[in-house]
């Protein structure tokens, strides 16, 4: 395949220029005005942006256990339509991904059925019950790229500390869901700040590599900034709805506006955007959390994120350079998870996201995802994926 005439953005190679890219299952050539070869599929990318495949490191695929919300097929179809060539999937499934048997079963299913690469995240505690640690080294060796009890924080600080000490020499990071359940009922903002403070202290004390999921408050960003200034190995992500939406939208959606952590004040959203701009927040991740319409109207927390994420990030951060934008969605999540990606240099995996900067309107009813609930429904966004190439094969084309 020859991707021709696009503006190639490769943050690792430091390229922002018109370039053609030749692909087999890896990148075979990058250059100017490459001649087409007999039988080669030509992809015209003129006027478009060509980037290393985007990675969404926070996705709920809902299998096993809840195929009424999403399946591996519908979730990864939503991913490629949204411009993602890889996703990492959270273990809050039934059963949870918490041992070798459940991890291997999930890997087997995703290898057979997914439309993009899928990297499983395993639980920190058995059954995500917050008590007994999982077997981190064997799980990482078998393919778990991170560990998280996402959906819930680990209430007992000692359990978390011991787990982190146990996992200290395993490269795959811990990912924390920063909400203190006991404080959430009194003050939802304090619930995040308290959990972030505790987890960065545990990260610093145990030297475990750490990542904070869906940061959503000004206090959370400021605490993260403090931790990084102290040299703690902690990274963090922001989700599209927290970057661009506020409580007002949540209220307008009624029960369907529920999400954990919740939509916050405009000042929090501004602090998150500033955190992305100054490099405190290193990853953009959607927290794609699909539910059925019935479940949403009964208050199930979470939005369908994969098919709006790229447009929402661009609309939230119009002043961020393309090179940084691409890095936040490819090189940075690849580095956090220790997976391939983030560059289109010769020999790299042929995972490519092609984008166009043009306004488009979100129509949630047309999502490939089974989850149709999003605060972005009907909104005009400013950027979108027009083609997604996974392992050298066209997985989506607008
Ligand atoms: O709103 C949310 N929904 N936040 C989470 O952390 C979990 C997710 C889900 O699994 O539905």
Q: Identify whether residues 176 and 207 lie together within a single domain.
A: yes
* Averaged pLDDT of the chain: 97
Burial profile 182-193: b = 16 or more Cβ within 10 angstroms, e = fewer: ebbeeebbebbb
Q: Please give the structure tokens belonging to residue 103.
A: 């991890």
CB-ligand 1 contact for 177 (6 Å cutoff) = yes
The mean pLDDT of 230-249, rounded to a whole number, is: 97
Q: Identify whether residues 270 and 353 lie together within a single domain.
A: no
Q: Please give the structure tokens belonging to residue 141.
A: 């060796």
Q: Of residues 20, 287, 351, 377, which has the active-site annotation?
A: 287
Residue 279: count of CB within 10 angstroms of its CB: 12
Give 247-294 as a DSSP string: HHHHHHHGGGG--SSPP--HHHHHHHHHHHHTTSS-EE---B----HH
CB-ligand 1 contact for 92 (6 Å cutoff) = yes
343 lies in a domain? no
Testing ligand 1's pocket by substitution, the residue of 289, 300, 306 carrying the most ligand atoms inside 8 A of its CB is: 289
* Residue 19: predicted pLDDT: 98
Among residues 286, 308, 337, the one where a domain terminates is: 337
Q: Which ligand 1 atom sits nearest the alpha carbon of residue 259?
A: 1
CATH assignment of the domain containing 368? 2.30.40.10
Q: Which ligand 1 atom sits nearest the alpha carbon of residue 92?
A: 10
The mean pLDDT of 268-275, rounded to a whole number, is: 98
- Judge whether 56 counts as a catalytic residue: no
Q: Identify whether residues 74 and 114 lie together within a single domain.
A: yes
The mean pLDDT of 242-248, rounded to a whole number, is: 97
344 lies in a domain? no
Q: Identify whether residues 69 and 186 lie together within a single domain.
A: yes
Give the range of the structural domain holding residue 118, as residue numbers without chain letter. 53-337
Name the residue with the closest Cα to ligand 1, atom 5. Answer: 151
Q: In what order do the strands lie in the sheet with 174-176?
A: 54-59, 84-89, 117-122, 146-147, 174-176, 210-212, 234-238, 283-284
Q: What gap in Å lies between CA 336 and CA 173, rounded to an integer?
A: 8
Ligand 1 center to 63 CA (angstroms): 14
342 lies in a domain? no
pLDDT in tens, 192-238: 999 999 999 999 999 999 999 999 999 999 999 999 999 999 999 99
β-pairing verdict for 234-238 and 210-212: parallel
Q: What gap in Å lies between CA 191 and CA 186, rounded to an integer?
A: 8
pLDDT in tens, 47-89: 999 999 999 999 999 999 999 999 999 999 999 999 999 999 9
Q: Please give the structure tokens belonging to residue 311.
A: 């447009």
Testing ligand 1's pocket by substitution, the residue of 149, 242, 287 carrying the most ligand atoms inside 8 A of its CB is: 287
Among residues 305, 337, 369, the one where a domain terminates is: 337
Q: What gap in Å lies between CA 35 and CA 31, rounded to an integer?
A: 10
Ligand 1 center to 259 CA (angstroms): 7
Q: What gap in Å lies between CA 73 and CA 138, rounded to an integer?
A: 28
pLDDT in tens, 83-139: 999 999 999 999 999 999 999 999 999 999 999 999 999 999 999 999 999 999 999
Confidence of residue 143 (pLDDT cuts 50, 70, 90): very high
Phi and psi at 286, nearest 5°, equal -85, -20
Among residues 316, 337, 358, the one where a domain terminates is: 337
Burial profile 239-274: b = 16 or more Cβ within 10 angstroms, e = fewer: bbbbbbbbbeebeebeebbbbbbbbbeeebbebbbe
Ligand 1 center to 183 CA (angstroms): 18
The mean pLDDT of 187-193, rounded to a whole number, is: 95
CA neighbours within 13 Å on the CB side: how many for 125? Answer: 21
197 lies in a domain? yes
Q: Is the pTM above the cut of 0.95?
A: yes
Q: Identify whether residues 231 and 354 lie together within a single domain.
A: no
* Residue 17: predicted pLDDT: 98
Number of domains in the chain: 2
Q: Identify whether residues 136 and 273 lie together within a single domain.
A: yes
Q: Identify whether residues 366 and 303 lie together within a single domain.
A: no
CATH assignment of the domain containing 279? 3.20.20.140
Q: Identify whether residues 26 and 72 lie together within a single domain.
A: no
Q: Identify whether residues 248 and 354 lie together within a single domain.
A: no
CB-ligand 1 contact for 259 (6 Å cutoff) = yes
Length of the chain: 398
Ligand 1 center to 179 CA (angstroms): 12
Q: Identify whether residues 42 and 61 lie together within a single domain.
A: no
What region does 251 belong to: left with phi over 0, alpha with psi -120 to 50, or beta?
Answer: alpha
Q: Identify whether residues 208 and 175 lie together within a single domain.
A: yes
Q: Identify whether residues 246 and 176 lie together within a single domain.
A: yes
């Amino acid at each position: 395949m020859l991707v021709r005439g696009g503006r190639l953005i490769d943050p690792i190679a430091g390229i922002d220029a018109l370039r053609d890219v030749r692909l087999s299952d890896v990148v075979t050539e990058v250059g100017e005005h490459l001649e087409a070869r007999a039988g080669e599929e030509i992809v015209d990318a003129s006027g478009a942006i060509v980037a290393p495949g985007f990675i969404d490191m926070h996705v709920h695929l809902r299998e096993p256990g809840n195929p009424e919300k999403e399946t591996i097929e519908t979730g990864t179809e939503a991913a490629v339509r949204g411009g993602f060539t890889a996703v990492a999937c959270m273990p809050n499934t039934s059963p949870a991904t918490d041992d070798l048997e459940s991890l291997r079963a999930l890997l087997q299913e995703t290898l057979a059925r997914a439309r993009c690469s899928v990297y499983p995240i395993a639980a920190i505690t058995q059954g995500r019950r917050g008590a007994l640690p999982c077997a981190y080294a064997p799980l990482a060796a078998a393919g778990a790229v991170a560990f998280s009890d996402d959906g819930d924080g680990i209430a007992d600080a000692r359990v978390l500390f011991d787990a982190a000490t146990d996992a200290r020499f395993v490269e795959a990071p811990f990912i924390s869901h920063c909400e203190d359940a006991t404080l959430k009922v009194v003050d939802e903002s304090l619930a995040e700040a308290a959990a972030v403070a505790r987890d960065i202290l545990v990260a610093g004390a145990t030297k475990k590599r750490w990542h904070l999921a869906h940061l959503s408050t000004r206090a959370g960003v400021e605490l993260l900034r403090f931790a990084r200034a102290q040299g703690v190995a902690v990274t963090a992500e922001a989700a599209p709805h927290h970057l661009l939406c506020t409580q007002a939208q949540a209220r307008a959606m009624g029960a369907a506006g529920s999400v954990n952590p919740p939509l916050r004040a405009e000042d929090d959203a501004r602090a998150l955007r500033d955190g992305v701009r100054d490099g405190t927040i290193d990853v953009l991740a959607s927290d794609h959390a699909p539910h059925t319409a019935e479940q949403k109207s009964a208050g199930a927390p979470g939005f369908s994120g994969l098919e709006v994420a790229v447009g929402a990030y661009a609309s939230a951060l119009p002043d961020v350079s393309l090179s940084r934008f691409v890095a936040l969605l490819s090189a940075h999540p690849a580095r956090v998870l220790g997976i391939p990606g983030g560059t289109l240099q010769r020999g790299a995996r042929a995972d490519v996201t092609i984008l166009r900067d043009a306004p488009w309107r979100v129509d949630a009813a047309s999502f490939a995802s089974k989850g149709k609930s999003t605060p972005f429904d009907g909104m005009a966004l400013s950027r979108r994926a027009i083609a997604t190439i996974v392992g050298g094969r066209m997985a989506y084309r607008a």
